Structure 1
């Protein structure tokens, strides 16, 4: 059900080092970093096990307040990501990124983002090459 979760941090480098150190005893490492140029927003670092980032930290640089929590749900296919986005907008969510490929994560990363009524960044993502 859950694919990954992310937290907004006030000091990217400080938090990246903190989580690098505290997650290491749990077997997690820094798996990926993406820049504000790649995301169109802030800098982000993903930590995980076996090469898959499941815990993310990030900042916002686009002038908008960063959402306090980011949760991504796993979708079985791209059509489900599209349906999630449509239904979320119909239910009152605000668009935070239309369905589409996000190749800066990997070539098949297909996700959609909405802000829930409390401003949390909620995503559905499919990792399949469909």
Structure 2
């Protein structure tokens, strides 16, 4: 079964910062804000809210470092082409994320794995991944020269 939705918890004091980061980072993937059903909860998604962010107030003495999460998590957004992997990465860096792996092939996973990784403001490792092989993208064929126009035939209509 596919995942229906995913949610992360962030410190309530950093809620607005994290929401702004994800709205900018996920915009190239078609994500928008769909709803804020209650205070400090937002649902983002391309078609419906499948990615949720919740600002959590800490209990006194719960975590002196100020981070709600004890350990960062990793999640990936499946995208339809390699250009979106690059767009995602650029948007994330522009929104204040930290590069955790530039766009490119990851043959250690498999021969079609193409991804980029970014750390969000609270340390979560987020990824955009495209599993389509390079030859399924127009850029591959454009670079191969198959779209170059043929040389002029000398018909005198120059």
Higher Rg of the two aligned structures: 2
TM-score by length of 1: 0.49
Bigger relative CO (Cα 8 Å, ≥ 6 apart): 1
TM-score by length of 2: 0.40
